[in-house]
């Protein structure tokens, strides 16, 4: 899979990169199919056509599915079998998932189809690419996947749209009928052949797509947490000595070293830090939320690195059941089980919750007159008349509490299905959905810490912060006013949250190394 120029993504037999998935899912990049790979699909399809006309049963080709696999389907009903599979499996419920998730899922399923191991016809891959390039987004309900036998209900919703049935997401977010929308886009409904219903639904593409999107989001948020921690350390008159490289090397975790280096860089040339570095300073050591920031942030970074390794392996996978092997054999397997992806999705939710927890503790310390080293209570202009950021910390605390609940793993909660044929499932889709909510929560928590630390730095005048933290504060001030009487605070939190999401702080984050 390779980028063509700056816009198009070429889909063949090679594994996509995470950047390519993001380009299609979020950037709307169109796809092209490798001609040689399409020719290979036609050759491989001959094995499925041969099986479809044999008397002996072949799972998914001439039998029912799941617990109904013992039912032999006569030759004249095998096209009906595939159509019925999609209609029955498109049984999701709830609000539609985000368009970027659906587009990622479609691309990843297309890549597996193009691997040749699913046995689909070339026209089926072409049809899925056409739907992806049209910009039309199938309506995929949030609930329905158990993360085993693939993300069945979500992928079936996509396949249903390919058939001209079901709904699509309209421009206003409301459902529109797929049939007329396909026609308006110049696309013809797909009539599925033998095994193609299985090939379109039997993959972990939804949970993998959400993992890749989460990894991209968390890389930025973990970088941002280092900056917000540095601002809090500075605002609380903390020391930068604990972040020294030789101290960090005593515990050689790579994520810890990176976070410590970035926090130290953010505090470089700070007159606030320098002001209490001399022998007159009576402080012995800072609180854990300041001193241990590299250890917590670093552990989260290393967790993210592990998740990226798993995602890379999954990107190279061809998940279906049964699969067509290179020697022409068609074999059943268990590669559709979502445990590898589900585990790391849950692991990331734990890291997110703890990152938010330590950020909230730093924020609370800045607001507490007994622990803030001279800052006014709650950073209020006139404490008592004004409440300052008191309730902003409540918002943080409420979000952190929710994040702790979201950190409870989904992947340990297997529920048997399909009359005990599918007696152990991964719940990886559920793990992915809660991680997306957790990422939103972490964004809010870091926004409040940035808002609080920026005000605390303002209140340290005439001492000046480090160039990096000063630049962050000044960027915030382009959207949120500085200290003063109480004002409606929710819009300020929303403004800083939007700054994080739109990348306004990215140049500062990149400057930290």
Cβ-proximal residues to 489 (8 Å cutoff; 6+ apart), any chain? 389, 391, 392
pLDDT tier, 4 (very low <50, low <70, confident <90, very high otherwise): very low
pLDDT at 242 over 60: yes
d(CA 203, CA 292): 41
Q: What is the pLDDT of residues 142-179, one digit of tens each?
A: 999 998 878 999 999 999 999 999 999 987 888 999 99
Q: What is the pLDDT of residues 376-388, one digit of tens each?
A: 999 999 999 999 9
Decide the pairing of beta strands 323-324 and 330-331: antiparallel
Average pLDDT, stretch 487-507?
97
pLDDT at 51 over 50: yes
Determine what percent of the chain is predicted with pLDDT higher than 70.
93
Q: What's the pTM value of the predicted model, to 2 decimals?
A: 0.94
Q: Say what the pLDDT of residue 54 is.
A: 73
Q: What is the DSSP string of 201-263?
A: HSS-HHHHHHHHHHHHHHHHHHHHHHHHHHHHHHHTT--SGGG-HHHHTTS--HHHHHHHHHH
Q: Say what the pLDDT of residue 182 is.
A: 96
Average pLDDT, stretch 232-236?
97
Domains of the chain, first to last: 2-203 (1.10.275.10), 210-511 (1.20.200.10)
Average pLDDT, stretch 225-251?
97
pLDDT at 65 over 70: no
Q: Say what the pLDDT of residue 445 is.
A: 98
Cβ-proximal residues to 52 (8 Å cutoff; 6+ apart), any chain? 58, 61, 62, 75, 78, 193, 194, 195
Cβ burial, residue 170 (10 Å; 0-12/13-18/19+): middle
Q: Is the alpha carbon torsion for 52, 53, 59, 65 positive or negative? A: positive
Q: What is the pLDDT of residues 289-340, one digit of tens each?
A: 999 999 999 999 999 999 999 999 999 999 998 898 988 888 889 889 999 9
Q: What is the pLDDT of residues 433-453, one digit of tens each?
A: 999 999 999 999 999 999 999
pLDDT at 5 over 50: no
Q: Say what the pLDDT of residue 2 is.
A: 47
The residues carrying an active-site annotation are 59
Q: Which of 475, 284, 392 is nearest to 465 (CA)?
A: 475
d(CA 460, CA 272): 8
Q: Which residue is it, tokens 């529920």?
A: 415
3-state secondary structure of 163: coil
Q: Do residues 154 and 145 make contact, with C-beta atoms less than 8 angstroms apart?
A: yes
> Cα 211 from chain centroid?
4
H/E run at residue 400 = helix 390-406
Decide the pairing of beta strands 175-177 and 167-169: antiparallel
Q: Say what the pLDDT of residue 281 is.
A: 66
Average pLDDT, stretch 414-420?
79
Q: Say what the pLDDT of residue 481 is.
A: 96
Q: Say what the pLDDT of residue 3 is.
A: 45
Q: Highest mean pLDDT: which of 68-72, 273-277, 382-386?
A: 382-386
Of the listed ranges 63-72, 267-276, 384-393, 418-427, the least confidently predicted one is: 63-72
Cβ burial, residue 30 (10 Å; 0-12/13-18/19+): middle
pLDDT tier, 424 (very low <50, low <70, confident <90, very high otherwise): confident
CA-only gyration radius of the chain, Å? 27
pLDDT tier, 421 (very low <50, low <70, confident <90, very high otherwise): confident
Q: Which of 501, 406, 401, 405 is nearest to 446 (CA)?
A: 501
Cβ-proximal residues to 292 (8 Å cutoff; 6+ apart), any chain? 358
Average pLDDT, stretch 490-511?
97
> Cα 148 from chain centroid?
19
Q: Say what the pLDDT of residue 369 is.
A: 97
Q: Say what the pLDDT of residue 60 is.
A: 64
pLDDT at 78 over 50: yes
CA distances (Å), 427 to each of 98, 214, 337, 345, 391, in order?
19, 17, 10, 10, 36
Q: What is the pLDDT of residues 247-257, one digit of tens each?
A: 999 999 999 99
Q: Do residues 86 and 291 make contact, with C-beta atoms less than 8 angstroms apart?
A: no
What are phi and psi for residue 462, nearest 5 degrees? -85, 0
Q: What is the pLDDT of residues 457-484, one digit of tens each?
A: 999 999 999 999 999 999 999 999 999 9
Q: Say what the pLDDT of residue 282 is.
A: 61
């Amino acid at each position: 899979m390779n980028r063509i120029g700056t816009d198009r993504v070429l889909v063949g037999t090679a594994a996509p990169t995470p950047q390519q998935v993001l380009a299609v899912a979020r950037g709307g990049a169109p796809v092209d199919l490798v001609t040689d790979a399409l020719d290979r699909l036609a050759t491989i399809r001959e094995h499925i056509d041969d099986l479809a006309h044999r008397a002996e049963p072949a799972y998914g080709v001439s039998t029912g599915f799941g617990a109904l696999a013992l039912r032999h389907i006569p030759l004249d009903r095998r096209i009906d079998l595939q159509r019925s599979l999609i209609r029955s499996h498109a049984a999701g419920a709830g609000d539609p998932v985000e368009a970027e998730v659906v587009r990622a899922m479609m691309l990843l399923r297309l890549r597996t189809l193009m691997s040749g191991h699913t046995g689909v016809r070339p026209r089926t891959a072409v049809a899925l690419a056409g739907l992806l390039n049209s910009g039309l987004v199938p309506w995929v309900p949030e609930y329905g996947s158990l993360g085993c036998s693939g993300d069945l209900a979500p992928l079936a919703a996509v396949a249903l749209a390919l058939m001209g049935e079901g709904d699509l997401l309209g421009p206003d977010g409301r459902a529109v009928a797929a049939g007329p929308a396909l026609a308006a886009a110049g696309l013809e409904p797909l009539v599925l052949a033998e095994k193609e219903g299985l090939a379109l639904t039997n993959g972990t593409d939804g949970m993998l797509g959400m993992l890749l999107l989460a990894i991209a989001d968390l890389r930025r948020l973990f970088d941002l947490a280092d900056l917000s921690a540095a601002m809090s350390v500075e605002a609380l008159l903390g020391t930068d000595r604990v972040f020294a490289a030789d101290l960090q090397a005593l515990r050689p975790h790579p994520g810890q070293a990176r976070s410590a280096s970035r926090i130290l860089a953010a505090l470089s040339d700070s007159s606030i830090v320098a002001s209490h570095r001399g022998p007159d300073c009576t402080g012995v050591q800072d609180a854990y939320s300041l001193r241990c920031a590299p250890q917590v942030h670093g552990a989260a970074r290393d967790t993210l690195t592990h998740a990226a390794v798993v995602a890379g392996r999954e990107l190279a996978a061809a998940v279906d059941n049964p699969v067509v092997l290179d020697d022409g054999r068609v074999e059943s397997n268990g590669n559709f089980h979502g445990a590898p992806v589900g585990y790391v999705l849950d692991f990331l939710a734990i890291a997110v919750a703890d990152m938010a927890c330590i950020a909230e503790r730093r924020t609370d310390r800045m607001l507490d007159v007994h622990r803030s080293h001279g800052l006014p209570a709650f950073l209020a202009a006139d404490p008592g008349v004004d409440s300052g950021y008191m309730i902003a910390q409540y918002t943080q605390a409420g979000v952190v509490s929710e994040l702790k609940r979201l950190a409870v793993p989904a992947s340990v909660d297997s529920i048997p299905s399909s009359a005990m044929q599918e007696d152990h499932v991964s719940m990886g889709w559920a793990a992915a959905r809660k991680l997306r909510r957790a990422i939103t929560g972490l964004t809010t928590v870091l926004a409040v810490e940035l808002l609080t630390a920026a005000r605390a730095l303002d209140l340290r005048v005439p001492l000046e912060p480090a160039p990096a933290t000063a630049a962050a504060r000044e960027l915030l001030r382009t959207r949120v006013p500085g200290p003063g009487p109480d004002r409606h605070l929710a819009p300020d939190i929303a403004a800083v949250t939007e700054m994080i999401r739109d990348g306004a702080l990215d140049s500062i984050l990149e400057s930290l190394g």
